[in-house]
Amino acid sequence: MMPIKKVLMTIVISSAALLVLQSTPPPVTYLVPEESPPQPLLRTGLSPDELSQVKEAQAKRLALLERECSREKGRRFGFRYPTLEQVAKRSSVVEKYHVSNCVVYKAGSSAWNGLLAHVLGRNDLIRTGEVYKMADVLRPSKSSLAEVAASPDYIRFVVAREPLSRLLSAYRDRILDISHPSWQAHHYAPLILQHARGIEYSNADLFYPNGSVRTMPTFLEFARYVADSASLSLDPHWKPVSLQCGLCLVNYTVVVHMESFLTDIRYILRESGMERDVDASLLVVNAHKGKGKTEDLLISNYATLPPEVLKKLLRLYSKDFRFFGYDPRHILEKIYPGRKNVVDSLMSVI
């Protein structure tokens, strides 16, 4: 087995052309598709200014989460889904470092699982490119998660991503991208096309021999299928985070935003002591790489949706917007320039 330090040195050297991460966290942007933008090499640790900024951001995010949960609990038919048992199925617990997280697909899970594979010595998964299986390796039981949720010694984090970006990311990566045939494309393409076109295609018409989709659903067809589906039946790659992670059940101590992912994760590595054993540059190595100008992709794709479809999507993801402090008004105004009445109508469901 190759020593962990040697593995890390090889990765760092291969990434030496990348620049050092700037200390000022980036403003909130719309990240699409399945990937965060190209990232520079990370320093180990946080500067005093970075640490102060992260702590200030975390205080605001956790206060917002607490307020939204208090409002839900005060309602007669409050937000009760999912159960702790269901959250456990979406969670990972690293007992060695007292860190737990809800695994959110299309929100940095590949980068985090890659880092965990290295720090926990799972070179078998690294060699096969199956670091995503770390989520299975580290999945807790319901009782174990209950203990973790009640423990003052654990860092418990959840990763949030702007919902419109995450949905488009899921479409582009799990449906549209024919370079790596996915289970989602094979399973959902026939359902999406039948829902949108009322046609049952043959397998020969639907798929290439390698399993990738030949007859590709458009983003409108995908979005309409998601909007019309029962929310609890949605695939985890585009299911709202609020329906997976028990935001009001688990006492999360850190809320990571994809827009500041690297800085937020470095904070977790620092607080848990994990940074002593693993180089944060692995987050860059294991992250997906960008494929286009992000906001332009967001606008061009969502501009194809009728307002009634987009309104259904906004309602579906309304808790993700509210619980994590995302405001889609900026992007809606670009999709519908000069149509304040349409934007106001769409915003009314959040």
Q: What is the pLDDT of residues 323-350, one digit of tens each?
A: 999 999 999 999 999 999 999 999 999 9
Is residue 265 a part of any domain in this protein? yes
pLDDT (tens digit per residue) in 94-139: 999 999 999 999 999 999 999 999 999 999 999 999 999 999 999 9
Please indicate, yes or no, if residue 207 is contained in any of the structural domains.
no
User: Is there a domain that residue 312 lies in?
Assistant: no
* 340 occurs within a structural domain: no
Q: How far apart are CA 40 and CA 15, in angstroms?
A: 9
- Any idea how long the chain is? 350
Residue 256 has pLDDT above 90, yes or no: yes
Nearest CA among 30, 14, 4, 53 for reference residue 263: 53
pTM confidence score: 0.85
Using only the alpha carbons of the chain, give its radius of gyration: 20
Mean pLDDT in the chain? 87
Distance CA 283, CA 266 (A): 9
User: What domain range includes position 102?
Assistant: 4-20+36-161+241-285
3 sits in the region (left: phi over 0; alpha: psi -120 to 50; else beta) called beta
307: in domain: no
Model confidence band, residue 280 (pLDDT cutoffs 50, 70, 90) = confident
Q: How confident is the model at residue 281 (pLDDT cuts 50, 70, 90)?
A: confident
Cα 310 to chain center, whole Å?
20
CA distance 266 to 34: 21
Instruction: Specify if 190 maps to a domain.
Output: no
In-domain check, residue 333 = no
Residue 318: inside a domain: no
Number of domains in the chain: 1
- Averaged pLDDT, 20-46: 46
Mean pLDDT for the stretch of residues 89-98? 98
